[in-house]
Amino acid sequence: MQRAAAAVIAFMLARWIGDHPDVFFAPIAAIVSLNTDVGERGFNALKLLLGVVLGIVIGELTQLVVGNQVVALGIAALLAITVATVAGGSRLTIAQAAAAAVLTIAIAGEGNGWDRLVDALVGAGVALLFTQVLFPPNPLRLLRQAETDALSSLAQGLDAAAYAMRHDDAEAGRDALTQLRRTRDHLAEIHNVRQRSRRVTRHTLTRRGSTQPVVAENENAGFLDLLGDGTVMAVRLGLDGDHEQQQRLSQPLSVCARLVRNLAAGPGDRANRQQVVDEVPHLLELLHGLEVGGEDSAQTATRITRVLIYDMMRYAGVPAENARQVLEQVVTEAEIPDDGAQVSWFRTVSTGLADGAKSVASRFQRMLRRGPQDHDSQDLG
């Protein structure tokens, strides 16, 4: 719906602003700019605009030098792709540079390229209006949705592994390991979302005031990678034990699955996280009862499960020292700090404006302080 609405608005604006009837490039630019993952759309619009400007300039200059349209089209496309690639442009920038160069030459008419540039500016501008003002992405929502997907996948794998150990089912155990390995896709998505959320808080006006909770959530989400690795290793070693050892380990793994599923149900709910952390001492008692003398795969799986519990607490937001004390059973309680205070929309926008103004003022002051000798020294460098 956003892409369709942006296309209509861009089409109407381009037809109102421009003095040419063919304004198809404006709605196309708006749709292409918004046709990517939430959190990347603003950068997508800028990449598209850069490619279009580059392609139009190359196309117009090629027409001045080469008279034959077919030859000019080939040369312009080659130059646009080459320049965009050498400049380190993304695939979108390269494709748009080539497409703009081709359109500039293929569609006859003097000044056609500059009309396309106006259309591209309108389309990208509408896309930026949608991403920056009307529908800015919520970085916390992006993170928590990705966390929910990853945690749900981990909980399913743990449940499957506990079932396989409880019933001494080797085939079910292999299926559980396969399912857990597939969680790497969800964990990789969390890595991508963490990067996108940081960019949103830095570059989106209405989200700049949410930096602190996003940073805290990013730090917590980083422990999901460790949680996923620990889960795979604990299950793999546990399945190598004999039937009795597997049955004993299946209970704490089943409890782990339940706690992970509870975290997935409300990753942004502090009370929900606290409830999960409050159940950790009972889980540690279960593991303590499994510890026996000697060293075998089941004993190693038990120790890795303890590390898994530590990562679970750290993801929930428990400070490192407190989590370590609970793991060592020095204390039996851990409290999650309440650092996710809600920020009003007005305060968010005003904070974003203030931060932006300070950044611009700082750069302007540095530019004023830089004397001729500074420019000389930069040239020498």
Nearest to 200 by CA among 217, 223, 222: 217
Between 303 and 376, the more confident residue is 303
pLDDT given at position 201? 62
Q: Which of 21-30, 105-114, 236-245, 276-285 has the lowest mean pLDDT?
A: 105-114
d(CA 119, CA 115): 6
Q: What pLDDT is recorded for position 79?
A: 92
Least confident segment among 79-83, 164-168, 216-220, 224-228: 216-220
User: If you average pLDDT over residues 158-183, what whole number do you get?
Assistant: 87
* Domain residue extents for the chain: 2-134, 139-327
Give the pLDDT confidence score for residue 78 in this predicted structure.
92
Q: What is the pLDDT of residue 367?
A: 42
Q: Residue 186: pLDDT band by 50, 70, 90 thresholds?
A: confident
When mean pLDDT is compared across 22-26, 79-83, 258-262, 345-349, the lowest value belongs to 345-349
Given pLDDT bands bounded at 50, 70 and 90, which one contains residue 362? low
Amino acid, single-letter form, for residue 54? L
Q: In this predicted structure, what is the pLDDT of residue 347?
A: 46
Q: pLDDT tens digits, residue range 294-327?
A: 456 667 777 888 888 888 888 888 888 888 888 8
> Over the stretch 130-170, which tens digit does the pLDDT of each residue have?
877 777 777 777 778 888 888 888 889 889 988 988 888 88
More confident residue, 44 or 12: 12
DSSP 8-class letter at 213: H
Q: Which residue has the higher pLDDT, 84 or 361?
A: 84
Quick: pLDDT tens for 5-21.
Answer: 888 888 888 888 866 66
Question: What secondary structure letter does DSSP report for 130?
Answer: I
CA dist list (Å): 41 to 38, 125, 210, 214: 6, 12, 19, 19
Q: Which residue did the predictor score with more confidence, 302 or 72?
A: 72
- The rounded percent of the chain whose pLDDT value lies above 70 is 75
Q: Is the pLDDT of residue 257 over 60?
A: yes
Determine contact, residues 180/154, Cβ cutoff 8 Å.
yes
Cβ atoms 206, 352 nearer than 8 A:
yes
Quick one: which of 249, 236, 232, 261 has its CA closest to 153? 261
Q: Report the pLDDT value the prediction gives residue 231, as an integer from 0 to 100.
A: 86
Say what the pLDDT of residue 352 is: 46
0.85 cut: is pTM over it?
no
pLDDT, position 368: 39
Comparing 97 with 357, which gets the higher pLDDT? Answer: 97
User: Which of 3.50.50.60, 3.10.180.10, 3.60.21.10, 1.20.58.220 would CATH assign to domain 139-327?
Assistant: 1.20.58.220
- More confident position, 78 or 311: 78
List C-alpha distances in Å: 60 to 80, 105, 170. 11, 8, 68
Has residue 366 got a pLDDT over 60?
A: no
- How confident is the model at residue 381, as a pLDDT? 33
Tokens 């602003």 belong to 17
Looking at residue 199, what is its pLDDT? Answer: 64
Q: Is the dihedral of CA 116, 121, 124, 129 positive or negative?
A: negative
